[in-house]
Chains A and B, each alone.
Chain A
Amino acid sequence: MNEAPIFTFSYLGATGIGLVWGWWCFMRFSASKGKLLNRLIILVYTMGVIGMTYWQVGGLASLILLLAACGAAFFHYMWRQYLQKKYL
Chain B
Amino acid sequence: MQTSTIQLLGAGGFGCIIGWYVYYINRYRKGDVQLSDLVTVLGVIGGGSVLALFKEGTDLFGAYGIGLFVGFFAYFLVLIFLVGLSKNFNADWFLDGRRMKPKGDYYIPDEVRATTGAMRANTDDADLNQ
Contact = CB atoms under 8 A, between A and B. Distances in A.
A56 B66 contact: no
Given A10-B61, A24-B22, A80-B95, A37 B32 contact: yes
20 contacts: A6-B58, A6-B62, A10-B65, A15-B65, A16-B65, A16-B67, A19-B69, A20-B69, A24-B72, A28-B29, A38-B32, A41-B34, A41-B37, A49-B41, A56-B48, A83-B91, A83-B94, A86-B91, A86-B92, A88-B92
A24 B58 CA distance: 27
B95 A17 contact: no
Interface in B86-119: 90-92, 94-95
Contact of A16 (B34, B45, B57, B68): B68
A61 B94 CA distance: 32
Interface residues of A, number: 40
Contacts of A37: 32-33
Contacts of A83: 91-92, 94-95
Given A20-B22, A27-B26, A52 B49 contact: yes
